């Protein structure tokens, strides 16, 4: 059973206490964006075999959204972090690099856009 | 290939069963094939079979990283039905169901198709309206289904509890010619027929790369060396995103685990398939007597072929209310398979951005029932460049907003 620690309230919550919210760090395009960008935002998903970043909600707890870094092959959890960010914190990235050297994901969304 | 028949059984009985042949060859790959199909599950083998049977294309390799039929073909709950709301789905699933009717004769292999009937229970007011609508839609599509009363449900399924406090049975959508088949036999039967046509089924051979030159697939890199091809079909279910990335394009798809479990074998007690979509459980009894129970999909992406335990708990909890006798059963085995799910929960059978590469995936939680129809349509698409059955199932439909929205229409349990 998947257990994630909520970064807000610190509770180690198991899956039934959580709601899965799909892929994290989706890029939200503003006015003037084209059909392809909107299509990618709505339907294209990373679906990696390995390192993945997801949104979860501590629904039967503090109710807050957070992010988790997880391996889809082994169910190993690399860590959870606040949802108020455009990309995972460096310490999570370092942790993943230590365990999965050479890992890659798509580009993280960019705060400047 | 020696044909299987009653005479063959008698002949072999007289000579201590020494004359049976291997059902299919296991050759080393050649350097070049006209068509490479990646994935020797039901869909891949069916595609190859109909390429040979309907279009005479037999210089075909079917490449499989594990053993044939060892993925979702060997992991499903073997249910066959075609009571879908949307026209494109009803067309391809009904094509598949009708091919199942004659498959054993066609392949000379007993796939044990058992049209025992499928009931989808209505347990809320919304489901009553939804299934009545589906029954009307099916009448227009030429798919034989009917709306039946709770009393009729009880008549067909005596072990059911109609008056559960939380999930009363308010009626059902009944497809009399739906049913089950032996899932492994479907893969084995197609494999035997493909091998007989001269096709090469190459097992334990993982595709590690796809060579794309000038916008076309030139061949694949595999654990048994490079193999060239003129056309390629990707038919790999859960791993579709992974393979398409090798060819340089992405899919609107996510992979999750879907679970099933079986009980200890008991005496015959239910001779139809019952699906309860509100509580997300479905059950039938196998010929061995085990109750075969299908559960729900995981909420988050994974490739583990296990699934989360709490889904089993939810499924069984709901079943115990609808079928009180289930509470006395011991469960023997539980397993999971990786299903690939698109945004509208309908499959992709489509051309791809790479010219001579075709894809057949995204069957999500409803792949087994569609195997022959999917193979039939995919073969037509690959051989002629167009198939009326696949017209709506393109990758582009998401961009155009032409969804085939079955996740709403048919409930979640396929």
> Using one digit for the tens of pLDDT, what is the confidence trace for B349-407?
999 999 999 999 999 888 999 999 999 999 999 999 999 999 999 999 999 889 888 76
pLDDT, one tens digit per residue, over B268-291 is 999 999 998 887 778 999 999 999
Residue B275 lies in a domain: yes
* Averaged pLDDT for residues B24-51: 97
My answer on whether B74 and B51 are in the same domain is yes
pLDDT of B202 higher than 70: yes
My answer on whether B190 and B174 are in the same domain is no
* Averaged pLDDT for residues B327-337: 93
- Average pLDDT of chain B, as a whole number: 93
For testing contact with chain A, the best of B297, B301, B401 (most A CBs within 10 A): B301
Q: Do A20 and B300 touch (CB under 8 A)?
A: yes
My answer on whether B327 and B214 are in the same domain is no
* Burial tier of A62 (Cβ tally within 10 Å: 0-12, 13-18, 19+): middle
Better-scored residue on pLDDT, B1 or B10: B10
pLDDT, one tens digit per residue, over A27-37 is 888 899 999 99
User: Chain A contacts of B242, Cβ < 8 Å?
Assistant: 47, 49
Residues 6+ apart with CB under 8 A from B319: B276, B279, B281, B283, B293, B326
pTM: 0.94
For testing contact with chain A, the best of B300, B342, B362, B398 (most A CBs within 10 A): B300
Domain termination residue (choose one: B342, B367, B396) = B342
User: Chain B contacts of A72, Cβ < 8 Å?
Assistant: 255, 301-304
Kindly report the CATH number assigned to the domain that includes residue B245. Answer: 3.50.50.60
pLDDT of B411 higher than 70: no
Better-scored residue on pLDDT, B413 or B284: B284
pLDDT, one tens digit per residue, over B50-79 is 999 999 999 999 999 999 999 999 999 999
Domain termination residue (choose one: B283, B308, B342) = B342
pLDDT of B102 higher than 50: yes
Q: Do B304 and A75 touch (CB under 8 A)?
A: yes
My answer on whether B399 and B293 are in the same domain is no
**A110: pLDDT confidence band, cut at 50, 70 and 90?**
low
Tell me, what's the pLDDT at B162? 94
My answer on whether B297 and B394 are in the same domain is no
Residue B398 forms contact with A (CB below 8 Å): yes
Contact present, B352 and B247 (Cβ < 8 Å): yes
The structural domain count of chain B equals 2
Out of B301, B304, B308, the one facing A47 most closely (by C-beta) is: B301
**B410: pLDDT confidence band, cut at 50, 70 and 90?**
very low
* Averaged pLDDT for residues A85-96: 94
Tell me, what's the pLDDT at B98? 97
pLDDT, one tens digit per residue, over B161-173 is 999 888 899 999 9
DSSP codes of every residue in B295-333? EEEPSS----SS--HHHHHHHHHHHHHHSGGGGGPPEEE
Query: What CATH class does A3-99 carry?
Result: alpha beta
What single DSSP character describes residue B221?
A: E
Residue B112 forms contact with A (CB below 8 Å): no
Tell me, what's the pLDDT at B4? 95
Domain span at residue B280 reads: 103-179+254-342
Residue B369 lies in a domain: yes
Q: Poorest-confidence range of A39-43, B255-259, B314-318?
A: B314-318
Tell me, what's the pLDDT at B384? 96
Interface of A with B (CB under 8 A): 1-2, 15-16, 19-20, 22-23, 35-36, 39, 42-45, 47-49, 52, 54, 56, 70, 72-75
Percentage with pLDDT > 70 across chain A: 96
Tell me, what's the pLDDT at B46? 98
The residues pairing with B61 across neighbouring beta strands, listed in sequence order, are B36, B200
Tell me, what's the pLDDT at B408? 52
Beta-carbon count within 10 A of B246 CB: 17
What single DSSP character describes residue B114?
A: B
What single DSSP character describes residue A17?
A: G
My answer on whether B192 and B70 are in the same domain is yes
User: Chain B contacts of A36, Cβ < 8 Å?
Assistant: 399
Q: Do B299 and A15 touch (CB under 8 A)?
A: yes
pLDDT, one tens digit per residue, over B229-240 is 999 999 999 899
B 34-73 → A contacts, CB under 8 A: none
Q: Hey, what's the torsion of the CAs at B130, B136, B139, B143, to 10 degrees?
A: 0
Q: Number of C-alpha atoms within 13 angstroms, CB side, residue B378?
A: 32
Out of B239, B252, B303, the one facing A44 most closely (by C-beta) is: B252
Residue B405 lies in a domain: yes
Tell me, what's the pLDDT at B299? 87
For testing contact with chain A, the best of B297, B299, B305 (most A CBs within 10 A): B299
Name the strands in the sheet holding B273-276, side by side, starting at the edge strand that comes first in the sequence: B146-148, B171-175, B118-122, B273-276, B281-285, B290-297, B253-265, B331-342
Residue B335 lies in a domain: yes
Residues 6+ apart with CB under 8 A from A40: none
Q: Which chain A residue's Cα is nearest to B399?
A: A39
Q: Do A43 and B241 touch (CB under 8 A)?
A: no
* Averaged pLDDT for residues B27-37: 96
Residue B401 forms contact with A (CB below 8 Å): no
**B194: pLDDT confidence band, cut at 50, 70 and 90?**
very high
Q: State the smallest CA–CA distance between residue B240 and chain A in angstroms.
A: 10
Give CA–CA dist B239/B244, Å, rounded: 9
pLDDT, one tens digit per residue, over A45-86 is 999 999 999 999 999 999 999 999 999 999 999 999 999 998
Residue B398 lies in a domain: yes
My answer on whether B168 and B264 are in the same domain is yes
Residue B16 lies in a domain: no
My answer on whether B189 and B61 are in the same domain is yes
My answer on whether B258 and B175 are in the same domain is yes
The residues pairing with A71 across neighbouring beta strands, listed in sequence order, are A51
Better-scored residue on pLDDT, B135 or B297: B135
Percentage with pLDDT > 70 across chain B: 98
Tell me, what's the pLDDT at B412? 47
Strand duo A65-71 + B207-213: pairing:
unpaired
Contact present, B29 and B202 (Cβ < 8 Å): yes
My answer on whether B175 and B289 are in the same domain is yes
Tell me, what's the pLDDT at A30? 87
pLDDT of B348 higher than 60: yes
Percentage with pLDDT > 90 across chain B: 85
Nearest Cα neighbor of B301 from A20, A97, A18 is A20
User: Chain A contacts of B342, Cβ < 8 Å?
Assistant: 43
Kindly report the CATH number assigned to the domain that includes residue B298. Answer: 3.30.9.10
Q: Which chain B residue's Cα is nearest to A54?
A: B300
Q: Do B399 and A39 touch (CB under 8 A)?
A: yes
My answer on whether B72 and B192 are in the same domain is yes
Residue B24 lies in a domain: no
Give CA–CA dist B414/B411, Å, rounded: 7
Residue B7 lies in a domain: no
My answer on whether B64 and B165 are in the same domain is no
Tell me, what's the pLDDT at B191? 97
For testing contact with chain B, the best of A45, A51, A60, A73 (most B CBs within 10 A): A45
Out of A35, A43, A73, the one facing B303 most closely (by C-beta) is: A73
B 322-361 → A contacts, CB under 8 A: 342-343
Domain extent listing, chain A: 3-99
């Amino acid at each position: 059973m998947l257990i994630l620690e909520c970064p807000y309230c610190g509770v180690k919550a198991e899956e039934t206490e959580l709601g899965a919210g799909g892929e994290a760090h989706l890029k939200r395009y503003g006015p003037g964006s084209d059909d392809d960008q909107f299509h990618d935002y709505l339907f294209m998903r990373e679906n990696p075999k390995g390192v993945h970043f997801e949104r979860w909600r501590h629904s039967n707890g503090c109710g807050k959204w957070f992010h988790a870094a997880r391996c889809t092959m082994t169910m190993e959890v690399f860590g959870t972090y606040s949802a108020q960010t455009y990309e995972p914190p460096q310490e999570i990235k370092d942790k993943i690099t230590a365990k999965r050297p050479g890992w890659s994901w798509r580009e993280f969304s960019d705060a400047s856009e | 290939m020696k044909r299987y028949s009653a005479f063959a059984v008698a002949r072999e009985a007289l000579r201590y069963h020494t004359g049976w042949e291997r059902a299919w060859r296991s050759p080393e790959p050649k350097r070049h094939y006209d068509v490479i199909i990646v994935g020797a599950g039901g869909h891949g083998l069916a595609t190859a079979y109909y390429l040979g049977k309907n279009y005479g294309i037999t210089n075909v390799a079917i490449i499989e990283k594990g053993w044939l039929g060892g993925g979702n073909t060997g992991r499903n709950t073997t249910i066959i039905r075609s009571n879908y709301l949307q026209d494109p789905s009803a067309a391809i699933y009904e094509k598949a169901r009708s091919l199942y009717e004659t498959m054993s004769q066609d392949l000379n292999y007993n796939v044990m198709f058992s049209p025992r009937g499928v009931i989808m229970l209505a347990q809320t007011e919304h489901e009553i309206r939804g299934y009545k609508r589906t029954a009307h839609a099916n009448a227009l599509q030429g798919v034989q289904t009917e709306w039946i009363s709770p009393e009729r449900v009880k008549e067909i399924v005596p072990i059911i509890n109609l008056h559960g406090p939380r999930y009363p049975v308010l009626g059902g959508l009944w497809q009399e010619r739906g049913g089950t088949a032996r899932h492994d036999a479907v893969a084995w039967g197609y494999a035997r027929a493909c091998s007989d046509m001269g096709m090469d089924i190459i097992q334990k051979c993982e595709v590690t790369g796809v060579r794309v030159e000038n916008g076309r697939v030139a061949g694949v890199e595999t654990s048994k060396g490079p193999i060239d091809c003129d056309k390629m079909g990707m038919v790999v279910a859960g791993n579709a995103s992974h393979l398409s990335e090798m060819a340089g394009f992405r899919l609107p798809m996510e992979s999750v685990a879907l679970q099933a479990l079986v009980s200890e074998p008991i005496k015959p007690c239910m001779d139809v398939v019952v699906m309860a979509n509100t509580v997300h459980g479905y059950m039938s009894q196998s010929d061995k007597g085990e109750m075969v129970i299908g559960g729900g999909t995981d909420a988050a992406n994974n490739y583990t072929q296990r699934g989360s335990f709490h889904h089993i708990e939810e499924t069984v909890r709901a079943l115990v209310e609808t079928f009180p006798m289930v509470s006395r059963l011991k469960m023997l085995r539980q397993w999971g398979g990786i299903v690939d799910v698109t945004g509208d929960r309908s499959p992709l059978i489509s051309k791809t951005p790479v010219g001579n590469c075709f894809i057949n995936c995204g069957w999500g939680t409803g792949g087994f029932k569609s195997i022959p129809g999917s193979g039939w349509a995919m073969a037509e698409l690959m051989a002629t460049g167009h198939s009326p059955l696949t017209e709506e199932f393109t990758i582009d439909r998401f961009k155009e907003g032409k969804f085939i929205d079955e996740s709403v229409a048919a409930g979640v349990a396929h």
